[in-house]
Amino acid sequence: AVSPQPQNSATAPTITAQGPTSFCTGGSVALSTASATGNSYQWRRNGTAVSGATSANYSATLTGTYTVTVTNGSCTATSSGVSVSASGSGPSPVITAQGSTSFCSGGNVILTTQQASGNTYQWRYNGIVISGATSYAYTAYLNGAFTVTVTNGTCSATSAPINISTGSAPNATISTSGTTSLCAGSSVTLNANTGTGLTYTWLRNGSTISGATGNSYVATLTGTYTVQVTSNGCSRTSAGTYVGVFAQPSVSCSSTPAAGTIHASASGGLAPYSYSWNTSPASANATTAVTTSGTYTVVVTDARGCTTTCT
């Protein structure tokens, strides 16, 4: 600092370098001198005043000898020179993503920087060195900021960060409202898990069901049903739910008026069969006697519970 003395004398200021004074082109070093009330400052490079460099601190980026002249009132003093050397062509790394930087958990993107003879590389994740990540390319899996530091000789530079965003796939489950073993003509409602922002695609035997995009689906056909649930572009597919649809038994009815009997003959479906006639009293036999003329109906039920009516 300048310490004004009587008879217009002053103590020469001192420059302090806040780092190495030799660095690669594009770098800098902060130079400073003591600050005191009433002082004014002028920095010079190679004896020529640096325009606008009038504070106690100066960031030197060019090769040269730097001095600072400090004035306080009528007292002026100039420091000794400090030599700064800016040489060498330092790297200027830029990261390029070879794909989208937003993807679902389990995905990845390859990050690359420029290759050049003599370069070495170090990748960082959120500012922390990634062990073994010393190639010009790195495969990123995680959500966060990635940078690469490139060194060539004594010159090093670090890229701007590139941000990776990963999302999680939602749950995907199916519950049923009723049995999944059906008779032809029946149905069962399949329900997917619900949540804010979820979208749905239903599939049967692995093929998309056209228009089936709600959180439930009414199944009427035999097959294995799955649902793909999507949130923010990330999808998960549920385990399969099997629905079996079975044909009803075939029944033919006949009567033997001479014997006073009516008869039902069943086939198909799954034996054994049970019978329910609308006779009075009700009959549960395949053949039953009747004593009055009329229209008789039988409901035949197979072992799966599928029914057919014959009149």
Parallel, antiparallel, or unpaired for β 188-192 and 216-219? Answer: antiparallel
Task: Give 280-294 pLDDT, tens digit per residue.
Answer: 899 999 999 998 888
- Cα separation, 91 vs 89, whole angstroms: 7
Task: Give 208-258 pLDDT, tens digit per residue.
Answer: 999 999 999 999 999 999 999 999 889 999 999 999 999 999 999 999 988
Q: Is 6 helix (H, G, I), strand (E, B) or coil?
A: helix
Query: Quick check: 298 and 275 in contact, CB under 8 A?
Result: yes
- Cα separation, 267 vs 275, whole angstroms: 13
**What b-and-e string marks burial along 160-188, b requiring 16 or more CB atoms within 10 Å of the CB?**
ebbebebeebbebebeeeeeeebbeeeeb
10: pLDDT strictly greater than 70? no
Does the model's pTM come out above 0.85? no
- Cα separation, 77 vs 67, whole angstroms: 10
Parallel, antiparallel, or unpaired for β 109-112 and 174-177? Answer: unpaired
Task: Give 148-182 pLDDT, tens digit per residue.
Answer: 988 887 788 888 899 999 999 999 999 998 899 99
- Cα separation, 82 vs 17, whole angstroms: 8
Mean pLDDT for the stretch of residues 12-41: 90
Element (H, E) at 219: strand 216-219
- Cα separation, 148 vs 134, whole angstroms: 9
Task: Give the tokens for residue 271.
Answer: 């034996």
Q: Is 8 helix (H, G, I), strand (E, B) or coil?
A: helix
Beta partners for residue 58, in sequence order: 31
Which of 10-19, 21-30, 104-113 reaches the highest mean pLDDT? 104-113
Task: Give the tokens for residue 166.
Answer: 């990963």
- Cα separation, 62 vs 28, whole angstroms: 8
